């Protein structure tokens, strides 16, 4: 019997930490702002209102559904708009390569409610669907390919690294054993295999038994952590001095990367670290100044309205006027 639980509630387009993002990003009339994860456009609509007729919003998303949503919304947005359908790391590098310098860049990481709610895309362990999980349907790698083809060691590794799954080894073993008989074709085939691999007394101890494996597969399929690293690095080139970078993340794997990047670039050693900060060791000027160094979490009022905000953390920093890494320095004659 497949185990079907629906603790992944049908989500809505409520943008998370929206007031906080607006308050700290401080978009104002006439500016150019980049939304790296347009999704349903919830944050973008609020930002666009602040930019007004003279401002420009550049929206990025790799999902064609987000493009459709953008086309619906674009007519109503008061500012100039542009949509780039691509991974944000490539798109940001392309914009910087065009010589553009912008006032703000923000990311709202993870899946959109549209993606979760489109059952056939296989993001949810609550519905039976093909094992897909691609944010960009033109990409080749799917969750099915990983589940069907990766060896046990590699499977266990991603479940551990991207899912922080305690039973990574047992689940990887169960996947390999199961697929030797029948291929694992659907989300619920996979949910069954995962549930059976976790000892019954603790199967539901940390939420749905498939939650961490699905997260791990989704992160691997979409190379989400690599995109974060490359995307953040690209903002160094694209932000004008005084421009702001904001990231809303939903789990510690994402947040840790953002925190580390900003601490390195702000020249601040992590608390308790024996190591010198990157900027200090190179005697370079910090590239960013941290704003709200510990990050910002959702208010009680928002949590009461939107439980999805529970794990959200917003980190924000301001670009200094230090030249980006790789900029040739002038040599005195
Ligand atoms: C949480 S949703 C954004 C929701 C949006 N802020 C709103 O208010 O409606 C994340 C979106 O980012 C997109 N996305 C995630 N990673 C991406 C990447 N590396 N490049 C481009 N788009 C990405 C997803 O396709 C999804 O549409």
Name, in order, each residue with C-beta under 8 angstroms of 204's C-beta and a sequence gap of 6 or more: none
Is 324 part of a structural domain of the chain?
no
Take residue 138 and report the two structure tokens written for it. 């033109």
User: Which pLDDT band, with edges at 50, 70 and 90, does 326 fall under?
Assistant: confident
The pLDDT of residue 5: 33
pLDDT over threshold 70, residue 51: yes
For the Cβ of 227 lying below 6 angstroms from any atom of ligand 1, the answer is yes
Length of the chain: 333
User: Which pLDDT band, with edges at 50, 70 and 90, does 14 fall under?
Assistant: confident
The pLDDT of residue 269: 52
For the Cβ of 112 lying below 6 angstroms from any atom of ligand 1, the answer is yes
The pLDDT of residue 231: 98
pLDDT, greater one: 220 or 280: 220
The pLDDT of residue 67: 97
Atom of ligand 1 nearest to the CA of 37: 12
Atom of ligand 1 nearest to the CA of 227: 19
Name, in order, each residue with C-beta under 8 angstroms of 46's C-beta and a sequence gap of 6 or more: 15, 18, 21, 22
- Domain containing 75 equals 18-113+224-319
pLDDT over threshold 50, residue 43: yes
For the Cβ of 108 lying below 6 angstroms from any atom of ligand 1, the answer is yes
Cβ(249)–Cβ(109) under 8 Å?
yes
Domain with 306 in it: what CATH number?
Answer: 3.40.50.150
Report the mean per-residue pLDDT for the chain.
Answer: 91
- CA 79 to mean position of chain CA atoms: 25
Take residue 250 and report the two structure tokens written for it. 């939903």
The pLDDT of residue 13: 63
User: Which pLDDT band, with edges at 50, 70 and 90, does 324 fall under?
Assistant: confident
The pLDDT of residue 6: 34
Give the orientation angle of helix 187-197 with respect to helix 168-181, to 10 degrees: 130
Nearest CA to ligand 1 atom 20: 87
pLDDT over threshold 80, residue 194: yes
* 228, 315: one domain: yes
Take residue 56 and report the two structure tokens written for it. 């420009």
Q: Could you report the per-residue pLDDT of 216-238, keeping only the tens digit for each?
A: 999 999 999 999 999 999 999 99
Name, in order, each residue with C-beta under 8 angstroms of 47's C-beta and a sequence gap of 6 or more: 22, 25, 27, 33, 35, 57, 104, 106
Ligand 1, from 39, 226, 250: best to mutate by most atoms within 8 Å of Cβ?
A: 39
Enclosing H/E stretch for 245: strand 239-249
Bridge-based pairing of strands 239-249 and 313-319 is antiparallel
Q: Mean of the pLDDT values across residues 4-22?
A: 65
* 236, 103: one domain: yes
Cα radius of gyration rounded to whole Å, the chain: 21
User: Which pLDDT band, with edges at 50, 70 and 90, does 325 fall under?
Assistant: confident
Which of 188, 221, 254 delimits the end of a domain?
A: 221
**The model's pTM:** 0.91
Is 126 part of a structural domain of the chain?
no
* 107, 236: one domain: yes
User: Total domain count for the chain?
Assistant: 2
Lowest mean pLDDT of 12-26, 85-99, 107-121, name the range: 12-26
d(CA 73, CA 40): 9
Percent of the chain beyond pLDDT 70?
Answer: 89
* 232, 304: one domain: yes
Q: Could you report the per-residue pLDDT of 114-160, keeping only the tens digit for each?
A: 999 999 999 999 999 999 999 999 999 999 999 999 999 999 999 99
Q: Mean of the pLDDT values across residues 44-59?
A: 97
């Amino acid at each position: 019997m497949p185990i079907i639980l629906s603790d992944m509630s049908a989500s809505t387009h409520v943008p998370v930490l929206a007031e906080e993002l607006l308050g700290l990003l401080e978009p104002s009339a006439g500016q150019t702002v980049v939304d790296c994860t347009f999704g349903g456009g919830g944050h973008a609509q609020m930002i666009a209102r602040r930019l007004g007729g003279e401002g420009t919003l550049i929206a990025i998303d790799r999902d064609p559904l987000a493009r459709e949503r953008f086309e619906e919304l674009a007519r109503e947005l008061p500012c100039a708009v542009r949509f780039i359908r691509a991974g944000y790391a490539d798109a940001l590098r392309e914009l910087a390569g065009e010589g553009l310098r912008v006032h703000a860049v923000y990311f709202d990481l993870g899946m959109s409610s549209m993606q979760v709610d489109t059952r056939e895309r296989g993001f949810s362990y609550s519905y039976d669907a093909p094992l897909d999980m691609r944010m960009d349907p033109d990409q080749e790698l799917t969750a099915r390919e990983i589940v069907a083809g990766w060896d046990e060691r590699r499977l266990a590794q991603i479940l551990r690294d991207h899912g922080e799954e305690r039973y990574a080894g047992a689940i990887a073993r169960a996947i390999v054993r199961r697929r030797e008989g029948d291929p694992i074709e659907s989300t619920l085939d996979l949910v069954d295999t995962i549930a059976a691999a976790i000892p019954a007394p603790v199967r539901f101890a940390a939420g749905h038994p498939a939650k961490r494996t699905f997260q791990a597969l989704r992160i691997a399929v979409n190379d989400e952590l690599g995109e974060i690293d490359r995307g953040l690095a690209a903002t160094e080139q694209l932000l004008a001095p005084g421009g702001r970078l904001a990231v809303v993340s939903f789990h510690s794997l994402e947040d840790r990367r953002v925190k580390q990047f900003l601490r390195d670039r702000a020249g601040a050693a992590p608390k308790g670290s024996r190591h010198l900060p990157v900027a200090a060791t190179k005697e370079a000027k910090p590239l960013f100044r941290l704003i709200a160094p510990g990050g910002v979490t959702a208010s009680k009022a928002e949590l009461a309205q939107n439980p999805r905000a529970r794990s959200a953390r917003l980190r924000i920093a301001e670009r200094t006027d230090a030249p980006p890494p790789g900029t040739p320095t002038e040599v005195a004659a």
